Structure 1
Amino acid sequence: MRRTVAFGTMVAGLLLLGAPGFLGASGVPGAPGSAAPTAAEVKVTNVAATRHAKVSRRKAPRPKPTPRPEMTTRPIPRTAQQDLTAAVAPLARDDGGHVAVAVDDLSTGAIAGYGGTGTFVTASIVKVDILATLLYQSQQAGRELTAAEQALATTMIENSDNDAASDLYDAAGGAAGIDEANSAFGLTETSVGTDGYWGLTTTTADDQIRLLRLVFTRPSVLSGASQDYIEDLMSQVEADQRWGVPAAADPGTPFMVKNGWLPNPTLWEINSIGEITRDGQRMLIAVLSDDNASEDSGISTVQAVAEAAAAAVASAAKA
């Protein structure tokens, strides 16, 4: 019954809205010629205006935010120094910290070392410095090495002859002459001729790498001919002296080396410097050690460190 009444009331209201005179003759409330709006008309108009205002005040929908890209993690590239330290540190600890190494990868530009500033007695590796000094002085004087000097240089490097080294050491001006040349070479951690003996010269692995760069890379204060001369001699050392850094070379590849060994006074100084190729990469390596119980144990230590260092630097280049 209530639904019927409500429906009838709504119909009546609709009929009223369509009745003549509700909108007036013009069909627009308040237009000229129209009747004054009734209270019902005003109410309807106000309701419509209110609804329009509410709709107008509604905020436009916000655009969906652009999704942020997911964060991705990339492995940090290992460095040659990190890899070399990880590889050499256990060997150095086992040796009581009496070994140092420096590597310069000429193919990639990577440089790494362990204990590179530690001081060691050179023993016979100083013979490369003696010859480099003599050649540098000859360049400055505008002359070639004499035949006698060349013969001495050959036996000094290829056979590690000490008498030949003493003669050329004196010819180069002894400690003072070699120190002066080393200043031009950029060797800042080498002290020549300790107690008057060239074999007791002290140096660091880092300085030996600087000496090797002088011999094997350009630019250099040594001429190309002087560099070639030293390299040729270092490539032809006698068979029983081809240990040390060549242990790290790729099988069958050429290498250049100069080794030093000295009981001082009973424990051994064992050193090796030179150029090798490892995994196709050209490397300069210097390994210095002291307080070795024997010559053989020192050689084993130097070769193990050279192998570990070269492998680490080569591996880092491929990481």
Structure 2
Amino acid sequence: MTASVSVALSERSYGDADRAYPCASIVKVSLLAARLQQGRPLDARERERARLMIVHSDNEAASELYAAIGGPEGLDAWHARLGLTATRAHRAWGLTRTTARDQLALMTAVLGGGRPELAPLASLMTEIDPGQSWGVSAAGAGWALKNGWMPMSATGLWVVHSVGRAAGGRPVAVLSEGHPTLEAGVAAVEDAVRAALGTAAPVVRPR
């Protein structure tokens, strides 16, 4: 089976940038961004939860912050403010659906520097656990990222995503699904990142 890979950059896209995928853990960027937009500082516990969720991709911390922002309704409201028209929250946060184009807009908002209230999130995205710092980082140093991965219960095939800022300061979003293993998904995503930031369009290889 050939996996599906969608890539969005500011100046171009590869694959179908409007194809919707389950978010898996990349939605954790939205969860913290939505909380930071609430206009009150994070308390000590929330700061700890935020670090666990972004740096280590902790799921319990994500569930706690999801409740704090009002669940699906709160997340949809935050996405609407950003104009992410194709992203739809799910009561199970990992099943929220999004597109590469929407994720590129989100990465531009979070990492572009125009929203100082989101600076703590941008900083955490440069401190990702070494075991999770694949994907966008394949393009070189100077990255900020958040990855997402999960097997789909209906098929056993893997969803694997990487979103963030690549070397040179360019926001990028790579979403993919249909991989037989996590390792195959990581390899496909990194192939796509390198190709998209070079001169050739990425080639999706059968896995």
* TM-score, length of structure 2 as denominator length: 0.91
What is the one-letter code of the residue matched to 1:240? G
Q: Quick one: which amino acid aligns to residue 5 of structure 2?
A: V
2:123 aligned with 1:232: yes
1:258 maps to amino acid: K
Matching residue of 2:137 = 246
CA contact (8 A) 2:142 2:169 kept: no
Distance 2:121 2:12 in 1: 25
Equivalent position of 1:274 in the other structure: 164
Instruction: Tell me the distance in 2 between the aligned counterparts of 1:131 and 1:184.
Output: 15
Equivalences for residues 118-137 of structure 1 within 5 A: 118-137=19-38
Equivalent-residue separation in structure 1 for 2:105 and 2:82 (angstroms): 8
> Can you list the C-alpha shifts for 1:161-206, whole angstroms capped at 9, x where unaligned?
000000000000000001011111111110011xx20000100000
Partner Cα separation in structure 2 for residue 262 and residue 209 of structure 1: 21
SS of 1:117's equivalent? coil
The question of 1:295 aligning with 2:195 is answered no
Pairing 1:208–2:103 present: yes
After TM superposition, the structure 1 = structure 2 runs for residues 21-170 of structure 1, keeping only pairs within 5 Å, are 96=2, 98-104=4-10, 111-114=11-14, 115-137=16-38, 139=39, 143-170=40-67
- The structural deviation recorded for 1:228 is 1.6
- 1:186 and 1:246 map into 2 onto residues whose CA distance is 27
Residue type of the alignment partner of 1:268: W
SS of 1:163's equivalent? helix
Three-state SS of the structure 2 residue aligned to 1:257 is strand
- Secondary structure at the residue paired with 1:254? coil
Q: Distance in 1 between matches of 2:32 and 2:144?
A: 15
Report the Cα distance in structure 1 between the residues aligned to 2:96 and 2:21, rounded to whole angstroms: 8
Question: In the alignment, is the contact (CA less than 8 A) between 2:6 and 2:100 conserved in 1?
Answer: yes
1:229 shift after superposition: 0.4
**Superposed structure 1 runs of 4+ greater than 4 Å apart:** none
User: Structure 1 residues 206 and 275, CA, compared in 2 at 3 Å: closer, same or farther?
Assistant: same
1:148 to partner: Cα distance: 0.8
Tell me, in whole angstroms, the C-alpha distance in 2 between the residues paired with 1:185 and 1:231.
16
Higher gyration radius (CA): 1
Percent identity between matched residues is 38
Root mean square deviation, CA, Å = 1.3
Amino acid paired to 1:206: R
Which residue identity is paired with 2:87? Answer: T
Alpha-carbon separation, structure 1, partners of 2:67 and 2:99: 23
Question: SS at the partner of 2:85?
Answer: coil
Gaps of 5+ in 1: 1-94, 105-110, 314-319
Match of 1:257 in 2: 145
Whose strand proportion is higher, 1 or 2?
Answer: 2
Greater fraction of residues in helix: 1
Work out which structure has the larger RCO, using CA pairs closer than 8 Å and 6 or more positions apart in sequence.
Answer: 2
The one-letter code matched in structure 1 to 2:96 is: T
Shift of 1:254: 2.0
